[in-house]
Structure 1
Amino acid sequence: MKYPAIQNFINGRFSDIASPRSLTVISPSDGKELAIMPCSTAADLDAAVAAAQAAFPAWSQTPIKERVQVFFRYKYLLERDLQELASLVSEENGKTLGEAVAEIEKCIELTEFATSLPQLVTGEVLEVSKGVECRTAHVPLGVVASIVPFNFPSMVPNWTIPNAIALGNCMIMKPSEKVPLSLARIATLLQEAGLPDGVLNIVNGDSEIVNAICDHPGITAVSFVGSTRVARLVYQRATQNLKRCLALGGAKNHLLVLPDAKPDMTAQNVVASMSGCAGQRCMAASAMVAVGEVDHIVDKICAEAGKVVPGRNLGAVISRAAKEKIEQYITEAEQQGARVLIDGRNTVVEGKENGTYVGPTVIDHVKPDMAVAREEIFGPVISILRAATVDEALAIENANPYGNAAAVYTQNGSLARYIVEKANAGMIGVNIGVPVPREPFSFGGWNESKFGVGDITGKSSIEFWTRLKKTTVKWNPEAGVNWMS
């Protein structure tokens, strides 16, 4: 193994996991075994929660302007170690180095937003009656937990760590069992930045520890990012245990391409959206609705897809099982009458024959009832559905159960506004295939793409990670009394 056995990070120290069960961490790029990851037990979680509980009183009572100083230093350390962190992300996740660099750059932006929180949580003060003052304050929840996926080993943890901790909470992090290395490195950087012991704790494991987090009485809130099936289960289990929960699920993002769209820009953008991070992101283009006569754009999309080369500017998918599942979607669509214009099946990269690669795939004349049109594929595959009118295209988009993102390609401002208003998704792009809001705007979809209230990043996250305390004060009896006082 290249790395030692994965350890938990509890109360500022890495510690061995005593468990009879373990999993192997494998690099998707070349199939090499990276590390053994023992699966934590409920007792390991108890220790992490106890450490967080012990740290919470002092951390929560530290003024927020002092708390965020940790994140000013952490931001510098992310910048200092950017290339090292990106290499680790690329190694354990399989994405290209350039994509991994962009992921760390997003971590820096997320941390930068957290340093601005003192200016955003000042509360409100108002004299509501003569001599009577009301004020509000954002109060941390206590010990919170965050369960994160494999597709962004550094970015998604940084969706929650800077904001939740800067707002005064102590945190339990559970990384994906497929990519546990990056989060451990994040813990060491935060420790170097001056984060007190016990404020951040990492517990590694699989579904058993996820269930334990949802059930633990010492955890007050849970965030989750992953598939819709698991997001629903986590939300139901956590809220049944009276926890606050925000669970982000999967997506089936539709790009509506109109005849007046700029052909070159649209083709480049559609392919980048569907193939970036090997399609393993909830904001990837998965379905394109061709409105009217757009064959000239479809031809350019195929030409652009031909420039995407596995192992060079296209990374691997996360596992052998994922590769087989993605290829089965393509085969099934072809058997049902769809036309595979660009075929990424059976891709092998020279020198990395054990890597798990799927080439860029474009499937045309897909019907709405096909699995490839309905289900999240999580690979570099785009399905093209045909529609005669904008309203027919919108009907296809709105019929899908997810609601993460949608986009339209057009030069007609009126039609763009119409589609933005009618599309049933939480994040919309106009001539942008990956409409991820930049900070301070928040990330979050609708419908089957999100369970819970609010968003996980940006200003909206403040409401999730804090409670609002309202105080009414009167000191001067000479001010008199009326019905409001």
Structure 2
Amino acid sequence: MKYERVRNFVNGSFKEVSSQRTLPVISPTDGSLLAEMPCSTAADLEEAVQAAKAAFPGWSKTPIKERVQVFFRYKYLLEQHLQGLAALVSEENGKTMSEAVAEVEKCIELTEFATSLPQLIAGEVLEVSAGVECRTSHVPLGIVASIVPFNFPAMVPNWTIPNAIALGNCLIMKPSEKVPLSLGIIARLLKEAGLPNGVLNIVNGDSEIVNAICDHPDIAAVSFVGSTKIARIVYQRATQHLKRCLALGGAKNHLLVLPDAKPGMTAQNVAASMSGCAGQRCMAASAMIGVGAVDHIVDLVCEEARKIVPGQNLGAVISKESKERIEKYITEAEAQGARILVDGRGVQVAGKENGTYVGPTVIDYVTADMAVAQEEIFGPVISIMRTETVDEALRIENANPYGNAASVFTQNGGMARYIAERASAGMIGVNVGVPVPREPFSFGGWNESKFGVGDITGKSSIEFWTRLKKSTTKWNPEEGVNWMS
């Protein structure tokens, strides 16, 4: 075992949990045992909640201009520790080092946005009548919780940590049991940056802790990122207990490729979108719809896919079970009549035979009723469907229950606008394979890719992590009373 046993982070220090039940933390790159993670109990969560309750009065009353000073220092520390944190992300998640570096760089950008929050939440004041003022202010919710997935061990926690905490809340974070190590480094950096004890607490565990978070009466809000199946359950359970909840689920992102698209650029974008982070991201291209004569572009997509080599510029998928599930989708599509143009099944990397790798896979002549066309595969697989018209392509895209992202590749501005306006997705790309908005624009999908109101990052997150207080003040009784006062 390479690392010491994982511990919770409560009230500013790392602590053992009360349970002896553990789960192994396995590196997907070579199958080695990295650590053991104990499964916390409701009693461990209660300890974290009490630490957060004790910290909240002082932290919430600290002016936001002072609170964000922690995040100026945290941003500097992320920059100083970028390579070390990225190496750990790569080791426990399986993504390539360059992808892990990009992940930490995104953490830095998210933190930079949080330092601007004092300018963004300045309250409004208006004299609505003679001597009568109305004022608004953003008030923190209290104790909040965030449940995060395995595919971005550092970035997704930083979707919530800087904003939720800078806005005055105390946060309980539950990492994925598959990748709990990176968040421990983040906790250390925040403590070094001056974050007071109890403002951030980390509780490790599995579904038992997820349920306990949703049920706990002192937790005011829950954010979740994961599969649609679990996002729906978390949303229903949390809101049943009258909590505010924003639960982000899975995706089936469609790329509409028109015959006039720039062939080389399009092929590079499609291949990179479907294989980046081994396809384990909710913004990955999973389905390409070729409209009309696009064989020349499909050929180039295959050429680009063959340049992507597992263990070199393609990372591992998270587990043996994921590898088996992804390969099952490919085999099933082939049995149903689809053509496997590039086959990533059965891959082994020399020297890392116990790693869980799936090679880039291009499947052509997929029909809309196949599982590979409908379900989230979460691997480096692109399913190609064919249509004669844009409207037919849009019908396929619109019919899918998810709604994270959709992109169009064309040189026709009018057609790009036509598709962008009609695609049923929260994030749209034009000649962009992964249309993730950059700060201050917010991340969030539609339909069954998101349950709840608002987005998890950017300006939209302010509304989720705060309540709006409205105050009306009058100090001149001599003015009398009218309908506005």
TM-score (norm 2): 1.00
Residues 91-135 of structure 1 deviation map (CA, whole Å, 9 limit, x = unaligned): 000000000000000000000000000000001000111111000
What are the within-5 Å matches in structure 2 for residues 107-146 of structure 1? 107-146=107-146
Give the whole-Å Cα distance in 1 for the aligned partners of 2:483 and 2:30.
74
Give the whole-Å Cα distance in 2 for the aligned partners of 1:123 and 1:418.
38
Structure 1 unaligned spans of 5+: none
Question: Is the 8 Å Cα contact of residues 130 and 480 (structure 1) preserved in structure 2?
Answer: no
Give the whole-Å Cα distance in 1 for the aligned partners of 2:469 and 2:122.
12
> Which amino acid counterpart does residue 86 of structure 1 have in structure 2?
A
Structure 2 unaligned spans of 5+: none
Give the whole-Å Cα distance in 1 for the aligned partners of 2:198 and 2:319.
33
Give the whole-Å Cα distance in 2 for the aligned partners of 1:482 and 1:393.
59
> Which amino acid counterpart does residue 305 of structure 2 have in structure 1?
A
> Which residue is equivalent to 2:364?
364
> Which amino acid counterpart does residue 248 of structure 1 have in structure 2?
L
> Which residue is equivalent to 1:232?
232
Q: RMSD across aligned C-alpha pairs, in angstroms?
A: 0.4
Residues 386-443 of structure 1 deviation map (CA, whole Å, 9 limit, x = unaligned): 0000000000100000000000000000000000000000000000010000000000
Q: Is 1:19 equivalent to 2:19 in the alignment?
A: yes
Give the whole-Å Cα distance in 2 for the aligned partners of 1:482 and 1:218.
42
Give the whole-Å Cα distance in 2 for the aligned partners of 1:84 and 1:76.
14
Give the whole-Å Cα distance in 2 for the aligned partners of 1:483 and 1:327.
69
CA shift for structure 1 position 478: 2.0
Give the whole-Å Cα distance in 1 for the aligned partners of 2:484 and 2:343.
71
Q: Is 1:72 equivalent to 2:72 in the alignment?
A: yes
Residues 163-213 of structure 1 deviation map (CA, whole Å, 9 limit, x = unaligned): 000000000000000000000110000000000000000000000100000
Q: Is 1:314 equivalent to 2:314 in the alignment?
A: yes
> Which amino acid counterpart does residue 340 of structure 2 have in structure 1?
V
> Which residue is equivalent to 1:278?
278
Q: Is 1:344 equivalent to 2:344 in the alignment?
A: yes
> Which amino acid counterpart does residue 249 of structure 2 have in structure 1?
G
> Which amino acid counterpart does residue 393 of structure 2 have in structure 1?
A
Question: Is the 8 Å Cα contact of residues 288 and 385 (structure 1) preserved in structure 2?
Answer: yes
**Structure 1 runs of 4+ with >4 Å offset:** none
CA shift for structure 1 position 480: 2.7
> Which amino acid counterpart does residue 107 of structure 1 have in structure 2?
C
Residues 135-172 of structure 1 deviation map (CA, whole Å, 9 limit, x = unaligned): 00000000000000000000000000000000000000
> Which residue is equivalent to 1:437?
437
- What SS does structure 1 have at the residue aligned with 2:468? strand
Give the whole-Å Cα distance in 1 for the aligned partners of 2:88 and 2:437.
26
> Which residue is equivalent to 1:35?
35
Give the whole-Å Cα distance in 2 for the aligned partners of 1:371 and 1:150.
24
Give the whole-Å Cα distance in 1 for the aligned partners of 2:34 and 2:403.
36
Give the whole-Å Cα distance in 2 for the aligned partners of 1:287 and 1:483.
58
> Which amino acid counterpart does residue 362 of structure 1 have in structure 2?
V
Q: Is 1:388 equivalent to 2:388 in the alignment?
A: yes
Give the whole-Å Cα distance in 2 for the aligned partners of 1:161 and 1:125.
29
Question: Is the 8 Å Cα contact of residues 349 and 355 (structure 1) preserved in structure 2?
Answer: yes
- What SS does structure 1 have at the residue aligned with 2:363? strand
Give the whole-Å Cα distance in 1 for the aligned partners of 2:383 and 2:123.
48
Give the whole-Å Cα distance in 1 for the aligned partners of 2:179 and 2:130.
59
> Which residue is equivalent to 2:198?
198
Residues 20-61 of structure 1 deviation map (CA, whole Å, 9 limit, x = unaligned): 311000000000000010100000000000000000000000
- What SS does structure 1 have at the residue aligned with 2:283? coil
> Which amino acid counterpart does residue 395 of structure 1 have in structure 2?
R
- What SS does structure 1 have at the residue aligned with 2:119? helix
> Which residue is equivalent to 1:453?
453
Give the whole-Å Cα distance in 2 for the aligned partners of 1:361 and 1:18.
45
> Which amino acid counterpart does residue 344 of structure 1 have in structure 2?
G
What are the within-5 Å matches in structure 2 for residues 60-99 of structure 1? 60-99=60-99
Deviation larger for 455-464 or 12-21: 12-21
- What SS does structure 2 have at the residue aligned with 1:467? strand
- What SS does structure 2 have at the residue aligned with 1:402? coil
CA shift for structure 1 position 477: 1.2
Give the whole-Å Cα distance in 2 for the aligned partners of 1:208 and 1:388.
49
Amino-acid identity (%):
81
Q: How many residues align?
A: 485
- What SS does structure 2 have at the residue aligned with 1:470? strand
Give the whole-Å Cα distance in 2 for the aligned partners of 1:399 and 1:388.
17
What are the within-5 Å matches in structure 2 for residues 414-429 of structure 1? 414-429=414-429
Give the whole-Å Cα distance in 2 for the aligned partners of 1:450 and 1:310.
32
> Which residue is equivalent to 1:331?
331
> Which residue is equivalent to 2:181?
181
> Which residue is equivalent to 2:9?
9
TM-score (norm 1): 1.00
Q: Is 1:55 equivalent to 2:55 in the alignment?
A: yes
